[in-house]
Every structure is written in C-alpha cells, then in structure tokens.
Amino acid sequence: MHSHLCNRCGSCVGLSDGAIVFEDKTGDYRPVIKAEIDEKTAETLWEACPGKSFNFPSFREEFYPEVPNFNTFIGPYRQIGIGFATDSQIRQQGASGGIISAVLIWLLERKMIDGAVVLGMSKKEPWLTQAFIATTKEEVLEAAQSKYIISSVNDILPEINRFEGKLAYVGLPGQIQSIRKLQRMKHPSVRNIAYIFGPFYGNTLHFSSITSFLKTYKVSDYREITKLYFRHGEWPGNMRVELKSGRLIELKKFHANYLIPFHILRNSLYCTDLTNEFTDLSGGDAWAPVYEERGKGFSIIISRSDKGDDILNRMLNEGTIKMEPISAQTAIEMHSHGYDFKKRGGFIRIHFRRMLGKEVPDFGYELKGFGFSRYLMEFVISSLFILMGTKVARWTVEKIPPYIIGGIFERTRKIWKKSTYSIKRKEL
C-alpha cells in the first residue's frame, strides 16, 4: 500500500468494511488503514491485491482455456479489428469508436445484463471520478470517455455485491486483475459480474496534473471546476475544463499529453498489460494517420473469450458495430510504442527496481534479453520521469503556456519516436 506497487484499484477499500479508506484523493490517493481488520478479511485483502502479484500464465489458463490465439504482447485473442459504433451519438460520446459503451448498451437493451459498472465524474465533486452502476443508455453514455486521473473502481465492491441482477464490469488492467483474483476465490462480492470489458492502458496521472494544468491558466482553486473532460469533442478530442465563472479552458488531447511525464502514477511504469488482457473484450485508440486524419473516432477491438467474441459477432451481424479485421502483426505495429513501453520498458524498470533492493511485482512470467541500447534508452526515460516529477520541474512547466509546451511536447515526442524507431521495433 505504501510502495509504488499499489495501483489504487480500490479492492482493499471496498472489501474492508470502512477500515481502509482513500483519504487524499486530490493528493497521493493512498489507501490508509483506519481501524483494526480481522484476520480473515486481512487474508482476503492480501489475496485480492493485484499490486504484489498476478500470475498471467495461470490466470490465462483458467479463464481462457479454449482461446486459440495467444500473443505475448496482445494476450489471448479471437478477433482483432478496427471499428466503431454505428450509432453516431455513441461514437461521438465515446473516447475513440464508442465500442465499450455500445457493447454495454447492447447488453442492457437485450436484458443480458441489468447493470454496468462504469466510471463517471462525481456529481458532488465534479473534479473527481466516481464509479457507479449504470442501468440505462443515458447513464452508460454519461460515463463514456477515458478518465486519465487515478480512479478506484473497486471501492464500490459492496454496491456490486448488493446489486440484484447480472452485471458487466469495465475497468483498467490492475482493477480487472483484482476482480479475476476474487473470481478465482469465488468471493461473493463478484458473483454478479458476468462480463468484463476494459480500455487499453498506457498510464494514469495524479490529480496534481489537474491543479498544475489550471495553474498555467492562472486558476488556483480546482473547486472552481464544474465539468472536467479528458477527451471532449471530435476524436482524439480535447482536455476541457468548465469553471463556475463560466470560463472554459480547452487543450488538444495530444498537447495535454505534456502532463504525463510530470504527473504519471509510478505504478503505471510497472504495469505490463497494455491491451487489458484479462477482459472478455477490450478496446483502444486506433492510432494510425489514416484514421487520425479522418477524426470521428476509431477503436482497435480485441475479442478474447467465447462470450466476448459472441457479443462482437452478434453486434457485427446486426450492424451496431462496424469492424475491419486486422492481423496481430498490424495491431502490434499500430501500438508498437505502447508495447515497447509496457512489455520491454516495464520489465526493464522492474529489473532496475529489483537492483535497488525494492519489492517488485510477480507476474508469473518475465520478458528479458533486450539489447544494451534498449536498457540505456530506459535508463534515460526513467531518469527523465524522476526529474520531471520533481516540484521544481512542475513549477517551471507551469510558467509556460500549455499550448506552447504541448506543441513542444508533441514535436519532441515525434522526433524521439522516429529516432528510437529501430530500437523499439527490433523483434516486436
């Protein structure tokens, strides 16, 4: 809980009956023990925690026994394609192609589920996220789009437990790993969860990303926020903040990415799952110039389990989703930087951590044997993350208008990507 291995999934908070709470959601967002916990509960929390260990091969064998395809980068899969929801409202409101929301709405409308666990923005504190159970199309759409600040979906496990009816669950890889652990334990809190979906996951940011962003616009109090969007408008969208005064602040998503190195949750650096490998179906942004130029929103879709694949096929037949199949190799090339960051960089960073004598997560497998140049590159990246996470660096960047720093960041990233192209693609 007090190392960088905690991904803030929220399971310990949800299952501790109030003994563990997140005290400081706009700060470090750490679970804090407030009361004594009995031994049995403590054992459950320990078992359900995905931060210290999650055995990928063993969970894959248990939950995807019949899945014909497996790729180390992608995980188990049946179909991969590029697509979007044909309902233009869903597509427009979704983060990319609106696929995840479309699937949830489709399941609700066919009464295959009674509710969907999703992540919206808090009504009371609109600068924070809040997980809830959506039971209508409107509620699913209210929660659409990616939230890039730390969020703990599993702190609503008691609500999930109390819910009468079948549920779909949407979460990030760490949150889903905990759900899978609870399913393995046959824990009652997850007995209603019939389907698991989730977005790809590069990284999450501390809430300081929001306060720092506001400071650059000379707004000193985040409580002025009435609405916060991370992907507003046409894909890939804008970060957008609406304030009590009526003022509106907007910055292109690609420019807002400048916040990443300054505010990244360190656990993101030790997560080795980009594509949300333990879902029934997962989706990411179809990052390729051919789609990006067209705007509108395109997702990469991966169906994994029988039930995920069945939903996808039925939705394709009915025309609620459109999809062009692509090969695993094309999918890997589309997200090669992401795979490199997670599957190579992640394991190298874990290796560095082990060398420093710190605890490391046990994923039941390890990728290694990368060339010296890749280790060197990771050393530079990791040093930059440490340097840019300091108070001085954050303070300095707040003095530069975001559209300038965002523009510089986007250009530097393109040059960096080009110059490291061959190191990164080697043997992908």
The binding site for ligand FAD (CB under 6 A) comprises: 94-101, 118-119, 143-148, 151, 153, 170-172, 199-202, 204, 283-285, 287, 299, 338
- Residue among 37 and 140 whose Cβ is closer to ligand FAD: 140
Q: Closer to ligand FAD at the Cβ: 37 or 139?
A: 139
The CA distance from 114 to 164, in Å, is 8
Least spacing, CB of residue 198 vs ligand FAD, in Å: 7
Nearer to ligand FAD, 76 or 94 (CB): 94
CB of 283 to ligand FAD, least distance (A): 4
Which C-beta is closer to ligand FAD: that of 96 or that of 211?
96
DSSP code, position 401:
-
Q: List, edge to edge, every strand of the sheet that includes 115-121.
A: 129-134, 115-121, 167-170, 193-199, 281-285, 299-303, 79-85, 321-325
CB of 80 to ligand FAD, least distance (A): 13
Give yes or no for a cis peptide into 261 (omega within 30° of 0). no
- Judged by beta carbon, residue 118 or residue 160, the one nearer ligand FAD is 118
Shortest Å, Cβ 195 to ligand FAD:
12
Distance (Å, whole) CA 14 – CA 191: 15
Q: Which residue of the chain is nearest ligand FAD when measured via CB?
A: 202
User: Residue 18 has which token pair?
Assistant: 């109030």
Measured CA to CA, the distance from residue 389 to residue 72 in angstroms comes to 31
List Cα–Cα distances, 156 to 189, 231, 382, in angstroms. 10, 25, 34
Q: 284 or 361: whose CB is closer to ligand FAD? A: 284
Helix, strand, coil percent content, the chain, rounded in steps of 5: 45, 20, 35
CB nearer ligand FAD, residue 78 or residue 335? 335
Pick the closer one to ligand FAD by CB: 49 or 170: 170
CB of 399 to ligand FAD, least distance (A): 27
For residues 2 and 232, what is the distance between their CA atoms, to the nearest angstrom? 34
CB of 38 to ligand FAD, least distance (A): 30
Residue 37 or 323 with smaller CB distance to ligand FAD: 323
Give the end-to-end CA distance of the chain in Å, rounded to a whole number.
Answer: 34
Tell me the three state secondary structure of residue 33. Answer: strand
Q: Which of 108, 61, 271 is nearest to 176 (CA)?
A: 271
φ/ψ of residue 120, rounded to 5: -110, -165
For 14-52, give one letter per residue: b (16+ CB within 10 A) or e. bbbeebbbbeebbebbebeeeeebeeebeebbeebbbbe
State the minimum distance, in angstroms, from the CB of residue 45 to ligand FAD.
20
Could you give the CA distance from residue 394 to residue 259 in angstroms, rounded to a whole number? 9
CB nearer to ligand FAD: pick between 37 and 204: 204
Q: What is the DSSP letter of 213?
A: H
User: Which long-range contacts does 292-295 make (Cβ < 8 Å, 24+ apart)?
Assistant: 292/236, 295/234, 295/235
Residues in contact with 40: Cβ distance below 8 Å, sequence separation at least 6, in sequence order:
none
Taking only Cα atoms into account, the Rg of the chain, rounded to an integer number of angstroms, comes to 21
Q: How far is the CB of 230 from ligand FAD (least distance, A)?
A: 8
Number of Cβ within 10 Å of residue 316's Cβ equals 16
Helix, strand or coil, per DSSP, at residue 384: helix
Nearer CB in complex with ligand FAD: 37/75: 75
Write down the residue that tokens 């990244």 correspond to: 264
